[in-house]
Amino acid sequence: MMQSSFDQETSRRLHVAIVMDGNGRWAEARGLPRLAGHRRGVRAARRIVEAAPGLGIGTLTLFAFSSDNWKRPRPEVDGLMALLGSFLRREAAALATHDVRLSLIGRRDRLPLPLRAAATRAENETAGARGLHLRLAVDYSARDMILRAARRRVSGSVPSETFAARLGQAYGGAGAPDVDLLIRAGGEQRLSDFLLWESAYAELRFVARMWPDFAPADLAAALDDFHARDRRFGALPLAVSTPSTRSR
Ligand code: FPP
């Protein structure tokens, strides 16, 4: 399939994905309600969105609400839904002004109607932006998305490459390239069902800092570390794979 010039341009820039963990512990450590931590988490996210384009990031995917987060107490879930809705309503115009295109990824059918409406409006309002693709993962489970895509696509026999390409399309991801760097704040070291398909060769970085304290300097440090890594995608390093330099 032909790539548009926007797709080509986007794929030259990095896709960074972030698990914004630690809001609750940040708040509890200060004797505040957990929702106060989430509110500070939104502020941290805003700072990171502003810094991202200047750091060579073309796609930024933020894990805002996992499908397993429905298991949390009702007031926290309601508070998070309200926070996400007000973020989308308040920030859509500013995102468009800053050339940020917003997409929601994940299931929409279980979201409160006002949040769904705010998401669609923000997506429409920012559809023409090209500076950064901001993807908010809400009611998101990578495993569920893969299963649903497979269920839609398993029909007849097609060559495995075609199947993989179709599955990738059905899986969606709002036209995003694979993840280059996946960062998790808050000190835990796990993926929690986030972007399992497109993180096949992502570099991972786990940061002890709680998300509300995560700053653009932390993102810049993560990118410095990323650029120093040797990404081989399963192949050998160039010097080793060249026959003339291979030892016998
Ligand atoms: C994890 O903290 C964070 C979440 C459940 C997501 C909430 C994220 C935000 C409110 C930021 C939203 C950003 C935007 C752009 C709208 P936790 O509650 O799991 O923390 P804990 O592990 O310390 O309990």
Give the tens place of pLDDT for each residue, 1-21.
344 444 555 557 999 999 999
Specify the pLDDT at position 240. Answer: 62
Q: Residue 39 falls within a domain, yes or no?
A: yes
Specify the pLDDT at position 245. Answer: 41
Would strands 203-206 and 181-184 be described as parallel, antiparallel, or unpaired?
parallel
Specify the pLDDT at position 178. Answer: 92
Under-50 pLDDT residues of the chain: 1-6, 243-248
Strand arrangement of the beta sheet that strand 14-19 belongs to: 100-105, 132-140, 57-66, 14-19, 181-184, 203-206
Specify the pLDDT at position 3. Answer: 44
* Residue nearest atom 13 in ligand 1 by C-alpha distance: 42
Q: Residue 54 falls within a domain, yes or no?
A: yes
Specify the pLDDT at position 246. Answer: 39
Task: Using the atom order of ligand 1, give the atom closest to the CA of residue 84.
Answer: 16
Is residue 40 lining ligand 1, measured as CB closer than 6 Å? no
Give tens-digit pLDDT for 134-181.
999 999 999 998 888 777 665 666 666 776 766 766 666 556 889 999
Q: Residue 240 falls within a domain, yes or no?
A: no
Task: Using the atom order of ligand 1, give the atom closest to the CA of residue 34.
Answer: 18
Specify the pLDDT at position 234. Answer: 84
Number of domains within the chain: 1
Domain that holds residue 95: 20-228
Per the structure block, which two tokens stand in for 247?
């030892």
Q: Residue 15 falls within a domain, yes or no?
A: no
The C-alpha angle with vertex 235 and arms to 232 and 238, in degrees rounded to 5, equals 75
Is-catalytic flag, 21?
yes
Catalytic position from the list 7, 23, 68, 69? 69
Q: What is the CATH number of the domain that holds 196?
A: 3.40.1180.10
Task: Using the atom order of ligand 1, give the atom closest to the CA of residue 45.
Answer: 15
Is-catalytic flag, 69?
yes
Q: Is the dihedral of CA 238, 239, 245, 248 positive or negative?
A: negative
Which of 20, 80, 95, 126 to mutate to test ligand 1, by most ligand atoms within 8 A of the CB atom?
20
Strand partners of residue 214:
none
Q: Residue 181 falls within a domain, yes or no?
A: yes
Specify the pLDDT at position 247. Answer: 39
Q: Residue 123 falls within a domain, yes or no?
A: yes
Per the structure block, which two tokens stand in for 85?
């809705």
Q: Residue 11 falls within a domain, yes or no?
A: no
